[in-house]
Structure 1
Amino acid sequence: MQKEHTIDHVLRATWQAVAKMYNEQAAKHGSTMATAFVLLNIDYENGTPSTSLGPQMGMEPTSLSRILKTMEEKGAIYREKNPEDGRSVLIKLTDYGKEMRKISRASVIAFNERVRGELSEEQINHFFEVTEKINQLIAEREIFKEIKRKAV
């Protein structure tokens, strides 16, 4: 099987192209795709507890901490004690962060509208069905069980 015809290769290559596109767009505004992703996951009005931010984005705590530190240094976010839980901290957007979030959101919307404009509703539905099935197979941890049985 040629690598160009494997599902994982196509997924990885496509995601790398999307990430590069978003990073190029973010760079025009002095940002990165990772920062934009964080901005989009912070509640616009109330902020988001730092402890829930990483899991909701699927990001490791070390990576998130580094991004949050940079965002704070650039004035996009600030930290505030959580009034509902004194042990946790809320990550909140500054006015600058809210502006950057609007730019990030507009970029995501533009990408999605363009792709949807090129595909039929049926193609979009199939795409989501396929990715949902792949995620289900991964979550069930069944993909490599057959290999283990054969190797034994």
Structure 2
Amino acid sequence: MKNKSIDYILRGTWQAISRMYNEEATKYGATMATGFTLLNIDKENGTPSTALGPKMGIEATSLTRTLKSMEEKGLIIKKKNPDDGRGVLIYLTDYGKEKRALSKSTVIQFNESIKKHISDEKWQNFIEVAETINRLIQEKEIFNQSENEIAKSKKD
């Protein structure tokens, strides 16, 4: 992947991972989005619907469709939030908890398989690079640099 941009590498890798998870999820009548949502719902106390989107980095409209499908399949139930009558809490059903465990084991299997093929040092480097990218983006340091700062950083 020499001479390819960071975003090209990340996007291509994420697309491959997404395709792999969707192929696996299809075997169980689900999607990657369903599995990801199951993993982000607190299995004991439920999760406010308004907290799910930001937690998962998903737009509200996409999440609404996913939650509707999950409710129709009996994976979740929605209940009024007792602390906020306007809000809704999402709870996993027993069936949803079963599918959550399956999703979790799939993610663990993926991670363990990858870790078998790379050293601990490379794994730590990968984590550090990803965290640095995320920090720079969150702190809005990518496009807010002056041209002088960019030129200086290239020299270093």
What TM-score does the superposition give when structure 2 sets the normalisation length? 0.88
Partner of 2:18: 19
1:80 match: secondary structure: strand
Mapping 1:57-72, distance limit 5 Å: 57-72=56-71
Offset at residue 130 of structure 1 (A): 0.5
Indicate how the Cα distance of structure 1 residues 141 and 126 shifts in structure 2: closer, same or farther if over 3 A, else same.
Answer: same
Unpaired segments of 5 or more residues in structure 1?
none
Which residue number in structure 2 is paired with residue 28 of structure 1? 27
1:76–1:4 Cα change, 3 Å:
farther
How far 1:117 moved relative to its partner? 1.4
Q: Number of residue pairs matched?
A: 148
Question: Residue 142 of structure 1: CA displacement?
Answer: 2.8
- Return the TM-score normalized by structure 1: 0.90
* Identity rate, percent: 59
Deviation at 1:80, TM superposition (A): 0.8
User: Match of 1:45, SS?
Assistant: coil
CA distance in 2, matches of 1:26, 1:109: 14
Write the letter of the residue equivalent to 1:46. N
In the other structure, the counterpart of 2:152 is none
Whole-angstrom distance in 2 between the partners of 1:148 and 1:88: 46
Deviation readout 1:43-96 (Å, 9 max, x if unpaired): 111111111111111111111001000111111111011122222111011111
Distance 1:130 1:75 in 2: 39
Aligned to 2:119: 120
Once superposed, which parts of structure 1, at least 4 consecutive aligned residues long, lie more than 6 Å away? none
Q: Is the 8 A contact 1:4 1:10 kept in 2?
A: no
Q: What is the CA–CA distance in structure 2 between the aligned matches of 1:28 and 1:113, rounded to whole Å?
A: 21
Aligned to 1:87, the other structure's residue is in SS state strand
What is the RMSD computed on CA atoms of the aligned residues? 1.8
1:29-108 maps to which residues of 2 (within 5 A)? 29-108=28-107
Letter in 2 for 1:103: L
Matched position secondary structure for 1:75:
coil
Gaps of 5+ in 2: 149-156
SS at match of 2:58: coil
